[in-house]
Chains A and B, each alone.
Chain A
Amino acid sequence: MTKLNDYDKAVETYEPVLGLETHIELDTNTKMFCGCSTVFGAEPNTQVCPVCLALPGALPVANRAAVEATIKIGLALNCHIAEWTRFARKNYFYPDMPKNFQTSQYEEPLCEEGYVDVVVEGREYRVEIERVHLEEDTGKTLHVGGATGRIHGATESLVDYNRAGIPLVEIVTKPVPGTGALAPEVARAYTAELRDIVRSLGVSDVRMEQGSLRCDVNLSLNLPGDGWGTRTETKNVNSLRSVERAVRYEVRRQSALLDAGERIFQETRHFQETTGETRAGRSKEEATDYRYFPEPDLAVMEPSRAWVEELRAGLPELPRKRRERLQASWSLGDKEMQSVVNADAVDLIESTVAAGATPSGAVKWWLGELSRRANENGDELGALQITPAQVAQLQGMVDDGRLNDKLARQVIDGVLAGEGDPADVAAKRGLEVVSDTGALEAAVEEAISANPAVADKIRGGTHAAAGVLIGAVMKATKGQADAGTVRQIILDKLS
C-alpha cells in the first residue's frame, strides 16, 4: 500500500518543482511526411502508405502546413523561431512505430525560449518554455488476450497505423519552481492556457479526452534551500482535472517517501483516472539510449525571417487579450472573471451570451448551479450534457417569469437527463410558474382559511407572518408559483 502524506503538511515541508511536457496533434489534412489523410475514425490501416509504413526506399517530405502551425504555436508562446533547424531520428523499438525510429527533433528544435503567464489566486506565474518541436505520432495498439485490453497479461497486440505519422508538436516547459502549495493549480492553469492558445490558432482541436492534447507531468520535491530533488514523470494524464490530481498525488506520495528517509526513483509513472493514483511503469529496461542522429532523408529547414514575420502578423487574438475584451464587455470584476477562467467557462459563457442570455445570467448559471453539478460528478463543466443555447433558453424563461429559480433547477435535472431543451422539459414535467392569478387567488384563500390566526396577525400589520401563507401556497402549487406575486396577493387581501 502506497503511503501518502497529508497534502497541506507536505507542502509545508517541501517545495514542489513542476515541469510539463505536452503533445498536441495538429489537424492538418495530411500526415507529417506523406500525403495520407488524417481523418479521424477511418477503418484500420486504410490511411497508410509506403512512407508511414516504413517500406524500404520510401522517402519522407515535410508538410509545410505542419511547420507553419508549429511556428505559429512558437510565436504565440513568445518563442524564438530557429534560423536553422532539422529533424532527427529517435531510435527505439516498439510495434506502434513501423520505422523503429521516430522522426523528431533533437538539438535544434523549431522554437525555443518562450513563456506563458498564468494567474492563480490573484498571483501571476510565468511558466518558461524550453522548446517547441515537431515530430510524428505513433500507431494505435489493441492488446488482446489479457484482461480488459490492458498491455499487462496480453498475449498479442493488433496495430492500426492510421495515426502513425500524424504531425505532433511537443511543448516542453523549463522546471517551474516557486509555486508552493499551488503547484497543482498552476499546472492546470498552464495546461488550460496552452490549450486555449493553440485552439485560438486553429491548428488543433486540442481535445484532451480524444487524445489530441496529451500531458506528461514532471514533479520533484526538495527541502527549502536544497537543490532540486529527483523527478518522476507521470503519463496518461488526460484532463485538466487529472493534471491537478496527478501533481497533488505525487506531492503526497513523494513527501511520504522522503519523510521515511527513502529516495525517489527517476521513473515513468502512469496516472490512473479512476483512483487518482500514479503507478510505476513495470518494465525495467536499461536506461533509454535513443541514439539520436540527424535525419538524412529530410532537408534542413531555414525559416526565413520574412516567413516568420508574415506568420506573426497573421496571428489571431490570443486568449489573454480575448479575456480582457470579454471581461470588459461582460462588466465583470477581476475576481469574478478569474472564477470564470478557473471554471473553464469562458467559451461556454461567450456562447450563452451569443445565444441571447445576459452576461450576468450566463455567469450565474455556469458558475452557480451548473458548476455545482459538475463538481458533484467530478466532471469538467464543459462535459455537462447541457448546451450554451439551452442555458440561454432557461435564463430567458426565468426572465419571462415562466420559471422561478427552484423550477429552473428542476428543468436542469431534465435537460441533463437528456429530456430535451428547457422548454420541452418544462412542458413535459409540467414545470411552469402558475401565472393564472385566479388559481393563485384561490390557493391564497385556501391558505388564509386554513391559518386564521396567521391571517389575523397580518391584518394586525405583522407582514413578516405572510411567509407562512406563502409557504402554504407554494406547497399547494408544488413550488410553481412566483413567491413575490403570492406575497402581493396575500397583502392585498389582508389589508
Chain B
Amino acid sequence: MSTISREEVAHLARLARLEVTDDELDAFAGQLDVILESMKTLAEVNTDGVQPTSHAVPLVNVFREDQPQPSLSREAALSGGPDTFEDRFRVPRILDEEA
C-alpha cells in the first residue's frame, strides 16, 4: 500500500512545473514510497535534544563587503537565454488567455 498517493505526486509535479503522464504518476508514487520507507530507518534514531542540521559545514557569519564587482557584459548575460528582444530576456506570456 502506497503511503504517497497519485494525487500527491501530481501536486508535486505541478509545483515543480513537470509534465507527468498517468503511467509515470504510478511509477513515481512507487519510487517515492521506497525513498520515504528508507527515511523511516533514519527516523528510528533518537534525536532528542539534537538541532536539525541545515548546514553540514560549521560556518557562521560569512559576509561579503559592500564593494561592487564587475558584472557580466550584456551580451554574455543574454547569451544564456532562449530568446531575447531589445536587451531583455523574452518569455512567453505569464497569464493564460482566459485569466
Which residues of A does B touch, CB under 8 Å? Answer: 28-30, 34-37, 43-50, 53, 55, 61-67, 86, 91, 93-95, 141-143, 145, 151-152, 154-161, 282-284, 286, 289, 291, 294, 296, 298-303
Q: Are B66 and A152 within 8 A (Cβ)?
A: no
Give min CB distance, B93 to chain A, whole Å.
Answer: 5
How many B residues, CB 8 Å from partner? 37
- The answer, yes or no, to whether B71 is at the interface (CB within 8 Å) is yes
Instruction: List the B residue with the shortest CB-CB distance to A35.
Output: B69
B21 within 8 A of A: no
List, in ascending order, chain B residues with CB within 8 A of A152's CB. 95, 99
Residues of B within 8 A of A (CB): 11, 14-15, 17, 54-55, 57, 59-72, 74, 77-78, 80, 85-95, 99
A102 vs chain B, min Cβ distance (A): 15
- Are B69 and A36 in contact (CB-based, < 8 A)? yes
For the residues of A in contact with B, the DSSP-based class is loop
With A45-B88, A299-B59 given, is the CB distance from A65 to B15 under 8 Å?
Answer: no
Pick the residue among A145, A156, A282, A302 that contacts B99 (CB under 8 A).
Answer: A282
Residues of A within 8 A of B72 (CB): 48-50, 53
With A30-B69, A48-B71, A300-B55 already in contact, the answer to whether A161 and B89 are too (CB < 8 A) is yes
Known: A30-B66, A48-B77, A49-B72. A142 touches B93 (CB 8 A): no
Residues of B contacting A154 in the complex (Cβ-Cβ under 8 angstroms) = 93-95
- Are the CB atoms of A46 and B74 closer together than 8 Å? yes
Residues of B within 8 A of A36 (CB): 68-69, 71
Residues of B within 8 A of A301 (CB): 60-61
User: Which residues of B have CB within 8 Å of A63?
Assistant: 63-64, 66
* CB <8 Å contact, A283 and B71: no
A300 near B91: Cβ-Cβ < 8 Å: no
Interface pair B68/A157, CB less than 8 Å apart = no
Residue in B11, B65, B74, B88 whose Cβ sees the most chain A Cβ within 10 Å? B88
A43–B71 touching, CB < 8 Å: no
